Amino acid sequence: MKKFLLPIILLLTPSLLFAAGASTQLEGNFQVGPAIILITILCVFVLVGVVFRAKDTADFYAAGRSISRVGSGMAIASNWMSAASFLGMAALMYGTGYHGLAYVVGWTGGYVLLLILMAGQIRKYGKYTAADFIGDRYYSQGLRAVGAVITILISISYCVGQFGGIGLMFKWILGIDYAIAVIIGGSVVLVYTLISGMLGVTKNMQIQYVIIIVSFLIPLFILTFKFDYFWLLPQIGYGSVVSDIVSGVPITETAQMFNALGHEYAMVPSPEFAMPWDTASGQSFFQWIAIAFSLMIGTAGLPHVIQRFYVVPKARDARWSVVWGLFFISILYWSAPVYAAFGKILSANPEVGKLAKDAIVVYTAQLGNVNPLIVGLLAAGGVSAAFSTVSGLLVAGSSAFAHDLYVKIINPKASPKMQLLMARLGTILMAVIVTLLALKNWALIAQLVAVAFSLAGVTIFPLFLLGIWWSRSNKQGAIAGLIAGLSVAAISLTYFIAGKEGVTLPYHEFVNYWLGAWYFAWIGAPLAILANIIVSKLTPETPLEIRKFLVLNVHS
Amino acid sequence: MESNQNDYHISFFKPTTAQAKWNRNLAIKLILIWAVAVFGFHFLLRAIEKPTPEESYVKYEMVWENILAESASVEEMQIFAHSSLSVIGKVFIKPEYKTALNNAVSWTTFQLADSSQKELLIDKTKEFEKLKEEVTSISDPEYINAKNSLSQVASSILGLQNSDPRILIVSFSLISTEMELFKAENKDMIPTIMSTYLIHNQSFLTDFKFLGFPFHYFYSAIFLLVLFVFLCWLYCYRVDKMNVKLDIDE
């Protein structure tokens, strides 16, 4: 069947050529061209998912360990490049300038930690899921269950931002209400994940990476060319755009350049866009550092990222897949700030009005008069980014539910068919919860996603770090570390949710600043590590067989 | 890492084999480079920064006392309006600050207008306000005419040059009901607004340009990512070489 796939894709491709809409309005109408592009791309995803669908449980969880290094790197990148990367980062930089770069640095710098401290060792440990590792390393079914629940919570938290992004893009393309868009988009990604499983997902991720990166880059060349910057390498060419924003763009110099609404390409000096922790952004030096640090350790503790290392054949492949993955990710991360910079100038005129920051990537392309066909492809790329991540997250979450909770704890004699059924039920349940939370629209996409990173940073990261590198770390220490980390998370998230629901708790300003929902790991992770070390030292040593396994299998 | 068959221990800081020591040292070196590059640079940026006012702030400071005392000259009033428009043009400002600044611009423009211009200014502002509410498209010719006409009148009163991007904003900052009085509560807010939006943390690292970027921006947005990829590549390369040297088959 695989040999029929290419012709089918080629047959579908011509529809792209007829898909150009001619809308100059920023939003509100059904956009025919982008809608056709989106549907075409989704059809391709489902087709690929069907062709490479999971045949059994091992396939569903870990793609049969048959993925190459570069392929796995692409899958890591695609899995990683979510709506938060595609839409959210530009949104943050558009709104808060240099502060947004904390997310760029945090989300890439974490891979260095992940590689040096964990990637190879995780593969050598040879487990399918994060909870598997925790249960095994800390010889506790209870901790396995807690690990599974944490994985599910992280996946849900991460997915909320993605569903928000899917909703925004479906809203923009279909011209429908945000709530309906979230429900439609959520349903489509759920069906897709259920059909394809992880094998399909991994193959799809490679295709998705290409679509995401191509759709993201094309408008940048056009924008830099149109507005007379160095366009051969927009990721460098936009340096002058940033400097123009800082010094201001007078009208005379740019008399021939207009945005799609007919406004001159001009703006008053706005150094706050580029200057660090500017008072105008409302963000401080501490917050920059705390966010970058939290995102870095969160990266090294995210279950769906760690899970990618189980699908490569060897530890060496796991390591090199990180290099490839980070390189592929960086291509997008070098590019996202370009949208923020152009968006800043192109939306400077008061007539543009207040734009939804999370859709600034698409608005920038529209305001820059980029061909509607290409803008449609860009929006579809945003949906793809969210899809690729959501499917990986749903698989990680449902694996935790079916494999770690159901099979390992509730029903060890479950047949493979029953396991697959439970995985699919878990996927549906998670998708419903995520949709309900996404409808709340509590924060920007990138901020919602950062919550998942902090949660991973205070729970899974300390368990993996000490579990791999310190054999003295034992069950009691792990429990103490989890209690410490989860307590910090509980305080932070209680204040965050209470604030969003209009409830003012005591010392809310203090807690919201020092334990912000998107960066509480800056203190939570060190506390969890400290608690783990102290309690481990005070309690009996880790059993010999585990220490032996660590020495002979993981570090040999 | 293992001391003997019956005592298996792993500790990052106390490696017991040559390979483990090598691996530990490599990891420490790379993580140190990583930490200094990310956090060291930003601590340095923080340590050397100085609050640096924009030109608009420097000029505002020179005239603000006289504006408060209502003894400002025409030129000083114009400078104050220019500085207020510089903040309004920044896209993201708090709504209450915007209200205060709109009041400042409207009041200043009205004060600077002579008696014949005053009536014209109010009429044109009201006409534009009405059209803003009514029109469905910003390309409506009547709306465009009203906007440009008001902009022309206000720009000439405020002494804005044709190249000044603030002429694109001024029509939207004029509020017909805010012209006669600069409200006390808005006056009180002005110093906070100006210092919040017109003073920035700058140093030679932010002022120096590299490939068109302010240097620190290039460093975080471009260079750090290159460094991260390089560190990852270097680690894999070194580990592979070591594995070949020690004949380790993973």
Query: pLDDT, tens digit, for every residue of A170-188?
Result: 888 888 888 898 898 888 8
What pLDDT, on the 0 to 100 scale, is given for residue A411?
82
Number of domains within chain B: 2
User: What was the pLDDT predicted at A161?
Assistant: 87
Q: Which one of B201, B212, B235 has the shortest CB-CB distance to A275?
A: B201
Share of chain B above pLDDT 90, in %: 65
> Is there a contact between A280 and B42 if contact means CB atoms under 8 Å apart?
no
Interface of A with B in 151-180 (CB under 8 A): none
Q: Please report the sign of the dihedral spanned by the C-alpha atoms of residue A84, residue A90, residue A95, residue A100.
A: positive
- DSSP bridge partners of A249: A267
pLDDT-based confidence at B193, cuts 50/70/90?
very high
pLDDT for A24 equals: 40
**Is residue B103 within 8 angstroms of chain A, CB to CB?**
no
Query: Does residue B250 belong to any structural domain of this protein?
Result: no
Q: Please check whether residue A138 is in contact with residue A474, taking contact to mean a CB–CB distance below 8 angstroms.
A: yes
Q: What is the pLDDT of residues A474-520, one digit of tens each?
A: 999 999 999 999 999 999 999 999 998 888 899 999 999 999 999 99
Taking residue A490's Cβ as centre, other Cβ atoms within 10 Å add up to: 11
What pLDDT sits at residue A54? 55
Q: Stretch B84-107: mean pLDDT, rounded?
A: 91
If asked whether residues B69 and B37 sit together in one domain, one would say no
Cα–Cα distance between B53 and B61 in angstroms, integer?
Answer: 10
Domain of B229 in residue numbering reads as 2-49+203-245
Amino acid at A87: L
**Domain presence at residue B127:** yes
- Number of residues in chain B: 250
User: How confident is the model at residue A312, as a pLDDT?
Assistant: 65
A330 interaction partners in chain B (CB closer than 8 Å): 225-226, 228-229
Domain A2-228+278-443 fold is: Sodium/glucose cotransporter (1.20.1730)
CB contact at 8 A, A242 and A273? yes
How many residue pairs from chains A and B have C-beta atoms closer than 8 A? Answer: 223
Q: Cβ of B45 under 8 Å from any chain A Cβ?
A: yes
Q: Are residues B135 and B213 in the same domain?
A: no
The burial of B235, by beta-carbon neighbours within 10 Å (0-12 exposed, 13-18 middle, 19 or more buried), is given as buried
Does B168 lie in the same domain as B92? Answer: yes
Distance, in Å, from the CA atom of A314 to the CA atom of B105, rounded to the nearest integer, reads: 67
What residues of chain B lie within 8 A of the CB of A253, using their CB? 163
Contacts of B31 in chain A (CB under 8 A): 112-113, 116
Does residue B92 share a domain with residue B188?
yes
Does B101 lie in the same domain as B196? yes
State ipTM: 0.91
Q: What is the pLDDT of residue B65?
A: 93
Alpha carbons A154 and A163: distance in angstroms, whole number:
14
User: Which chain B residues are within 8 Å of A266, Cβ to Cβ?
Assistant: 165, 168
Contact status, residue A21 vs residue A31, Cβ threshold 8 Å: yes
Cβ burial A281-301 (10 Å sphere, 16+ → b, else e): bebebebbbbbbbbbbbbbbb
Contacts of A116 in chain B (CB under 8 A): 27, 30-31, 235
DSSP label of A358: G
The per-residue pLDDT for A203 is 63
Structure tokens at A350: 């008061």
Q: How far apart are CA A140 and CA A138, in angstroms?
A: 6
b or e along A209-229 (b: 16 or more beta carbons within 10 Å of the residue's beta carbon)?
A: bebbbebbbbbbebbbeebeb
Does residue B169 belong to the interface with chain A, where contact is any CB pair within 8 Å? yes
Q: Do B200 and A239 touch (CB under 8 A)?
A: no
A101, A235, A330 ranked by CB distance to B220: nearest: A101
B75 by Cβ neighbours in 10 Å (0-12 / 13-18 / 19+) ranks as exposed
Residues of A in contact with B201 (CB under 8 A): 275-278
Asked if residues A368 and A212 have their Cβ atoms less than 8 Å apart, the reply is no
SS percent in chain A: helix, strand, coil, step 5: 75, 0, 20
- Quick one: B176 and B58 in the same domain? yes
pLDDT of residue A125: 82
Confirm whether B150 is domain-assigned. yes
Average pLDDT, chain B: 90
| B59 and B183 assigned to the same domain | yes
User: Which residues on chain A are in Cβ contact (under 8 Å) with B30?
Assistant: 112, 116
Same domain, B228 and B191: no
Determine how many CB atoms are found less than 10 A away from the CB of residue A262: 12
Distance from CA of A17 to the nearest CA of B (A): 30
Q: Phi first, then psi: what are they for B52, rounded to 5°?
A: -120, 120
CB contacts, 8 Å: B2 with chain A: 551-552
pLDDT for the residue B133: 84
Q: Are B106 and B182 in contact (CB under 8 A)?
A: no
* Whether B169 and B240 share a structural domain: no
Interface test with A, best of B9, B39, B91 (most A CBs within 10 A): B91
Tell me how close the Cα of A333 comes to any Cα of chain B, in angstroms: 8
Question: Could you give the CA distance from residue A41 to residue A382 in angstroms, rounded to a whole number?
Answer: 12
What is residue A1's predicted lDDT score, i.e. its pLDDT?
43
State residue A14's pLDDT score.
Answer: 39
pLDDT in tens, B34-52: 999 999 999 999 999 999 9
Q: End-to-end CA distance of chain B, in Å?
A: 17
Cα separations in angstroms, A254 against A226, A250, A345, B86, B170: 12, 7, 12, 19, 19
CA-to-CA distance for B106 and B176, rounded, in angstroms? 7
Residue B138 contacts A, CB cutoff 8 Å = yes
Annotate A411-422 with DSSP letters as a single string.
-TT--HHHHHHH
Check CB contact of A330 with chain B, cutoff 8 Å: yes
pLDDT, position A56:
53
Rg, C-alpha atoms of chain A: 23
Whether residues B39 and A289 touch (CB distance < 8 A) is answered with: yes
User: What residues in A contact B49, CB-CB < 8 Å?
Assistant: 276
| Same domain? B92 vs B191 | yes
> What is the DSSP code (8-state) at residue B52?
E
Residues of B in contact with A115 (CB under 8 A): 232, 235-236
Does B205 touch chain A if contact means CB atoms closer than 8 Å?
no
Each residue of B167-186: pLDDT tens digit? 999 999 999 898 888 999 99
The pair of three-digit structure tokens given for residue A473, joined into one six-digit string: 């770390």
Q: What type of residue is A402?
A: A
Structure-block tokens of residue A518: 């998107």
- For residues A104 and A81, give the distance between their C-alpha atoms in angstroms, rounded to a whole number: 12
By the CB < 8 Å criterion, does A385 face chain B? no
Inter-chain residue contact A280 with B12, CB threshold 8 Å = no
Alpha-carbon gap: A256 to the closest alpha carbon of chain B (Å): 13
Length of chain A: 556
Among the partner-chain residues A263, A323, A472, the one whose CB lies closest to the CB of B233 is A323
**Domain ranges across chain A:** 2-228+278-443
The residue ranges of chain A whose pLDDT is under 50 are: 1-24, 60-65, 199
For residues B208 and B129, membership in a common domain is answered with no
Tell me, yes or no, whether B73 and B120 share the same domain: yes
The per-residue pLDDT for B246 is: 80
- DSSP, collapsed to helix, strand or coil, labels residue A470 as strand
CB A396 within 8 A of CB A425: no
Coil, strand, or helix at residue A233?
Answer: coil
